[in-house]
Amino acid sequence: MEFPHLGKHCSEKTCNQLDFLPMKCDACEETFCKDHIRYELHKCQSSYKKDIQVPVCPLCNQPVPWKRGEAPDIAVGDHIDRDCQSDPAKQKRKVFGNQCTMKGCKKKEVVPVVCDQCKMNFCLRHRHAQDHSCKGNNPADKAR
């Protein structure tokens, strides 16, 4: 070798190639050749600091914020269940659209459970007339 003091050896254990144009990883700050500079190629332990990707909702194509250390799939799933403005997501949320009319009850059912007497919609817990204090047989209520 004519110039042994030029260049640096690749830090990848399986490579160790002498490279005259070495590159420094911006995450772990080790030196690599062009074949091992990408995070996944040298199995960079510090890539989480720099390799930040924002998941995108497949339905509405909007970026979905998520916490580091949490799986992005969970954040996208929560977005689809709660905030997504696409038609399929809205349709999915409407499946449980039959809300109980009992005061204080927030339960929703897939199918409507309508009382025969008062014609109001209730959850399975309040479906019977005695469970929701039904006043459907009262002639004064029907006159209104």
Q: Are 15 and 7 in contact (CB under 8 A)?
A: no
Give the pLDDT confidence of 3-17 residue by residue, as tens digits. Answer: 667 889 899 988 988
Tell whether 119 is covered by a domain.
yes
- Is 38 found in the same domain as 23? yes
Q: Are residues 105 and 90 in the same domain?
A: no
Which of 16, 31, 51 corresponds to the end of one domain?
Answer: 51
Q: Are residues 16 and 36 in the same domain?
A: yes
Q: Does 109 share its domain with 132? A: yes
Q: Is residue 141 part of a domain?
A: no
**Percentage of residues of the chain with pLDDT beyond 90:** 12
What's the pTM value of the predicted model, to 2 decimals?
Answer: 0.37
On whether both 58 and 91 belong to a single domain, the answer is yes
Mark whether 70 and 103 lie in a shared domain.
no
CATH code: domain of residue 29 = 4.10.1110.10
Query: Is 113 a member of any domain?
Result: yes
In the chain, the number of structural domains is 3
Could you tell me if residue 143 is inside a domain? no
Q: Is residue 109 in a domain?
A: yes
Pairing verdict, β 18-19 and 23-24: unpaired
Which two structure tokens, joined as six digits, stand for 101?
Answer: 């009319």
| Residue 1 lies inside a defined structural domain of this protein | no
Q: Which tokens belong to 66?
A: 């998520």
| Total count of residues recorded for the chain | 144
User: Is 2 a member of any domain?
Assistant: no
Cα 22 from Cα 120, distance rounded (Å): 74
**47 and 59 in one domain?**
no
CB 142 within 8 A of CB 118: no
Range of the domain at 103: 97-136
What are the backbone dihedrals phi and psi of residue 98, each rounded to the nearest 5 degrees, phi first? -90, 90
Tens digit of each residue's pLDDT (9 = 90 or more) over 110-144: 888 899 899 899 998 998 988 888 887 554 444 44
- Cα dist from 142 to 65, 103, 117, whole Å: 51, 20, 11
Residues 21 and 33: their CA atoms lie apart, in Å, by 8
Beta-bridge partner residues of 59? none
- In a domain, residue 142? The reply is no
Residue 24 has pLDDT above 90, yes or no: yes
